[in-house]
Structures are given as structure tokens and as C-alpha cells.
Amino acid sequence: MAYKLPGRITKYWLPTVFGLTLAHAGFSQSQVKSSVGVQTTTVAQNKNSQKKVDNMADQASRLLDEYRLVIGELDSLKTYNDQLQKLVASQSEEAKSIEEQIQSIEVTNKEVVPLMIKMIDGLDKFVELDVPFLLNERRNRVAGLKEMMDRADVSTSEKFRRVLEAYQVENEYGRSIEAYSDTVEINGEQKTVDFLRIGRVILIHQTLDGKIAKAWDQKSRSWQELSDAYRVAIRDGVKIAKKQSAPDLLTLPVPAPEAVQ
């Protein structure tokens, strides 16, 4: 049995269905747009988040590098500080040693300076009582030592060295042969003579023409005139002392040794 919809219903059914269809289609488009917008926003947010993460990663890497650098510098500073402590300890020991040496030097000066003064005075007396050769030179040496003792710019060690050096020079005279020229007074006149010294045993001078020769007598502390027999020997002795002639035997007057008391 066939049913036929009423014309009234048929008239409004199709528009209603079409309207529902359009409404459903419009809702889907809006929803899609909304979904696309949300997705776009999410992608942008994800990009920003990733950028922040990358920045934080870079910052963490830089901080790690700085931390490693600081740790390295800290190790270097620790090593340097340890070395400085050793250096300070060494300098403290050195300062203590120097202070002890200064105190020792002060004590040494108190003992050595009076000794040097006595040595110089003794040397002065010795020169005046010794055989009178090179008197000006030897007296000037002693005078220089006395002047040196009053100088603050010369150290005690240097003063002592020079005093010992003067003693060594005097000691060397006793085992050497020497010839030199000088002027002496003979018969009230100044004459140039040749001196011949053999150690401290013989001291003779002879005029350049060989006419007058004298020997020093230490016992009487006076010059004794020699005979012409010694003229050639004295002349040869002067040549040997000046290394102008080969060493040879000489016949010269030698003072008799004093008896041992």
C-alpha cells in the first residue's frame, strides 16, 4: 500500500534537510580553521620552545667551558701559591742566616780591626828597623794602609786582604834579588847610584862610575865603604839582577852571622 506524503510536509522537508546540511558543512569548515590555527600556534610555540632550549644549551656549554677554565686557573694558582710559600720560607731562612752573619761580622770587626791596627804598626816599625832598601816605596805602602783603616767605603775583609798583601810583599823581599837606581848623599853631594840587594843579607850601592861602593852593615846600621876589589862583582851582580846577564857566582862581602843567644 502506497503512502503519499502530504503536500505540505513535502513542501518544507527538503529545505530543512538542505539547511541542516549547510549548517553541518559550515560547522566543519570553522572547526578546521580553528584546528589549523591551533596547530599553527602550537608549531610556533614549539619553535620558540626549541629556540629557548637551544639557547639554554649554548649557555650551559659556555658555563661549562668557563667552569673548566676557572678550575684550571685555580689549579695553577694553587701550584703558584705553594711555590710562593716555599720561596717565602726559603727567604725567611736566608734572612735569618744573613742576620746571624751580620751579628758575626760585627763581632769579627771588633776583634779583627784592632788586630789589623797592631799589624800595621808592627809593619811600620819593621820597615824602619829593616835593611834600608826601597824605603820610600815601603813607607808609602804603610802610610796607605793607615789611611785605608779610616775609610768607611772599604770593607773589613778588603782591609784585611791589603794588610796581608803588604806582609806578603815584605816576605818576598827576603828571598829575591833586585837592582835599582836611586840617589844618595855621598860626601855631602847627591849622587845617582846602582843598588844591589840580595834578600835581606846584602845591600850594596855603587856610583855609576864605579869609583865608590858601600855596603850596609845592619849591626851598626851604617854604610861601610868597600874596596875596589868588589867593583866588577857588584857590576856583574847588578846585570844579573836586571836579567841582563846569566846567573853566575859572585864574590861579595857577606855580614858574619850573629851568635844565637
| Positive or negative torsion for Cα 152, 95, 108, 139 | negative
What pTM was computed for the model? 0.59
Encode pLDDT of 65-121 as tens digits.
888 888 887 777 788 778 878 877 887 787 777 766 666 666 667 888 999 999 999
Instruction: Round the CA-based radius of gyration of the chain to a whole number and report it.
Output: 60
Encode pLDDT of 183-214 as tens digits.
999 888 899 999 999 999 999 999 999 999 99
**Cβ-proximal residues to 254 (8 Å cutoff; 6+ apart), any chain:** 201, 202
Cβ distance 127 to 143 under 8 Å? no
Give the helix/strand (H/E) hosting 203: strand 202-207
Encode pLDDT of 111-146 as tens digits.
889 999 999 999 999 999 999 999 999 999 999 999
Cβ distance 116 to 149 under 8 Å? yes
